[in-house]
């Protein structure tokens, strides 16, 4: 099984073509491949499949094996992948993810993709859509307690839940402590991504992210979109802003059509072939009804 390692601002993925749907046990496969000591190492496994709704279908499994509903950085990576591999020849590409179709616009130079603009769709702001427990409402600057700390958070969904917290100094954020406490807080029945944001000006902000099912990551595309929406709702950001993450910057705009558009780069790191050693292959193949061999080339 051949793979491509890619990243969007350091948010990295193992990308595999799964057009024949021969793979199985995606959750276990993701945990193995994404392990940074025993696998390829990545924040997530991206599977590229055929779709009857769009040009391609994308599924992404986090490093803990859970499936993600949305991932802006992975969408950009797949846009670059299908164009540069010759699987798509147009610079406007439709991608299905979790039964939603997203449109990508590629900025190309010859056969190379320089940047990808993703129409991330409309943000969900009602608490029952995000979801956040309690009576139906818009959660804007609402108090939440995690451990001994109290925060004012704004909840946004971009197809996946986000808890956005504005702070004066992100350098002082105890992300490894506050991130997991907020991710698994009882108020979020499907857990949540967590962003801590420091606003520089109405058109610029920096943030760090604790990604649901992964932990701290260098970038989060859907998180950047949620940060902009939360910034507008809290009157801290304009509807178009440059957002800086540890891995780089994204331009995000909440346009008059109520859709949020995210623009940024994607990078191919390397390509390889996966070899499943005996112990893992035996366990993996047994679930697929395949006889055990000395080793398996996947």
Hey, which residues are catalytic here? 71, 220
d(CA 20, CA 143): 48
Structure tokens at 205: 């902000």
Q: Establish how many alpha carbons lie within 13 A of residue 244's alpha carbon, considering only the half-sphere containing its beta carbon.
A: 9
Residue labelled with tokens 């499994």: 61
Tell me the CA distances in angstroms from 139 to 184, 255, 260, one per residue in order. Answer: 17, 21, 19
- CB contact at 8 A, 212 and 179: no
**277, two tokens:** 């050693």
d(C-alpha 16, C-alpha 42), whole Å:
13
């Amino acid at each position: 099984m051949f793979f491509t390692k890619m990243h969007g601002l350091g948010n990295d993925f193992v990308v595999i073509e799964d057009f024949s749907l021969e793979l199985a046990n995606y959750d276990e496969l993701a945990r193995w491949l994404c392990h940074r000591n025993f696998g390829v190492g990545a924040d997530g496994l991206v599977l590229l499949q055929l779709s009857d709704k769009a040009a391609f279908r994308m599924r992404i499994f986090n490093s803990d094996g859970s499936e993600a509903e949305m991932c802006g950085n992975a969408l950009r990576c797949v846009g670059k992948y299908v164009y540069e591999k010759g699987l798509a020849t147009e610079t406007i590409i439709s991608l299905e993810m979790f039964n939603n179709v997203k449109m990508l616009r590629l900025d190309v130079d010859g056969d190379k993709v320089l940047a990808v603009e993703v129409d991330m769709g409309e943000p969900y702001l009602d608490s029952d859509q995000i979801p956040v427990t309690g009576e139906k409402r818009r959660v804007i600057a609402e108090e939440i307690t995690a451990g001994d700390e109290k925060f004012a958070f704004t909840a946004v969904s971009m197809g996946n839940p986000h808890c956005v917290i504005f702070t004066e100094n992100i350098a002082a954020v105890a992300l490894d402590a506050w991130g997991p406490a907020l991710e698994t807080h009882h108020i979020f029945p499907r857990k949540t991504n967590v962003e801590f944001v420091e606003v520089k000006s109405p058109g610029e902000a920096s943030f760090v992210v604790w990604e649901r099912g992964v932990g701290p990551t260098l970038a989060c595309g859907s998180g950047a979109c949620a940060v902009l929406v939360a910034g507008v709702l809290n009157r801290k950001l304009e509807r178009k802003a440059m957002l800086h993450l540890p891995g780089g910057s994204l331009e995000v705009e909440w346009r008059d059509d109520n859709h949020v558009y995210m623009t940024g780069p994607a990078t191919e790191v390397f390509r390889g072939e996966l070899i499943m050693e005996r112990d893992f292959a035996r366990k993996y193949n047994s679930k697929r009804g395949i006889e055990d061999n000395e080793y398996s080339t996947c």
